Amino acid sequence: MSRLLKLLLIPCYLYSCIAIAQHSKPVDLRALDNNPADAQTSRDPKETLLYSYGEIYFDDRDDLLDKALEVKEEGENLEARSRGLLLIPGDEQDLVDALEALDGATTSLRSRGTIILATSNESPFHYRLGSELRGTARFYYDEDDENRLRFAGVTGLFGGPDLESYMDISAVLENHAGINYHFRLDALPNTEFGILGKIQVISLLERRIDYDDYEKNKVFDWDTDIKNRVQLNADLGMRHTIGHVGLHLLVKDLYTESLRGASGDLYRQRSRVIAGIDYRRPWGDVQIMGDLVPRARFGEAPQRRDVNLSASLNVTRRFALVMGYNYAEHRYERDTGNAGIRYTLGRSLRAEISVTAAGKRELGGHASLQLPL
């Protein structure tokens, strides 16, 4: 009899858990990070909250960084042998083959970071800092280098600066500091609107590294070959709710500018239009967000369009599984998948970590922390 009573009480227990979850939704500033209008769960009336997020992804499936260093070291070995009059015809063949194999090899890097401060009062304002980077390096083999190396093999004289093969690097870094304002209109009670006004700094990295000067730490180094532009800008967002479904539309960077990098390549900034849909329940959520307008090309960094699918499933009251898939319309980068875990304590403390991968040398991840101050 007692066993039967316990079985009958299980549905009641599950129902009570769902009811509690529906009436005490945890604070989630991640939503505001994705859309300046998505502020339903962005504040705790008793706490000031700080949210930080960081992600990075590195695509070096061509093994460009290590192979370029190996090629340089092979050239240095030939140069040392030529000084000792030990270079004979044919010794240069390995270097010729390695340079040819590197032609067109690329490596890409992208990252993003956000900090959001939410005060405990009922103010419609949030304060935020953000940063986003995308860059690509590509190796170019000069076909005349083969003749130069053949000649060095005949004469027994070789110097690294004699070769004209090189690496081109281009990257776009956007940093901003701003105030996020969200509001509703009486005529549209199920629609939230948001405006992020910001001071924006766009930095363009454009660099050529000759074969003989290559060093790993020079590829995405931000000490030189940088052009900066400071400007005022704004993002607009909207989220319309239909039951448990939310429809998103946002425009990033209303003001656009054209500027040139250190080597003269033109970067035409675009307003990014993003649309999406989400489905949120006490057991988890699913969201799809996609670029309608791709990000602009700059030098070796091609234009890109992303469509991101993300989902979370609450395993217990404190732990949830997070997973996602990113479709990338990109000249070099492949689609990626990610999986991780999120921990929630009370209404306001949340920590999340996830790993992203597409292949052996295509790895990254993200981590976020939301905590009361």
Q: What is the pLDDT of residues 322-342, one digit of tens each?
A: 999 999 998 888 899 999 999
The whole-number pLDDT of residue 19 equals 42
Q: Is residue 11 predicted with pLDDT exceeding 50?
A: no
At 24, is the pLDDT very low, low, confident or very high (cuts 50, 70, 90)?
low
Euclidean distance between the first and the last CA atom of the chain, given in angstroms as a whole number: 50
The whole-number pLDDT of residue 340 equals 97
Percent of the chain topping pLDDT 70:
88
pTM: 0.86
CATH class of segment(s) 2-372: mainly beta
- What is the sign of the dihedral through the CA atoms of 23, 28, 34 and 35? positive
The whole-number pLDDT of residue 41 equals 80
The whole-number pLDDT of residue 302 equals 92
Q: Where are the domains of the chain?
A: 2-372
Q: What is the pLDDT of residues 36-86, one digit of tens each?
A: 999 888 888 888 999 999 999 999 988 999 999 988 888 777 777 666 556
Percent of the chain topping pLDDT 90:
62
Amino acid at 312: S
In the predicted model, what is the mean pLDDT of the chain?
87
**Alpha helices (runs of H) in the chain, residue ranges in sequence order:** 2-23, 30-34, 64-83, 93-102, 144-155
The residue with greater pLDDT, 10 or 367, is 367
Q: In the numeric block, which tokens belong to residue 342? A: 């999120």
**In contact, 157 and 191? CB cutoff 8 Å:** no
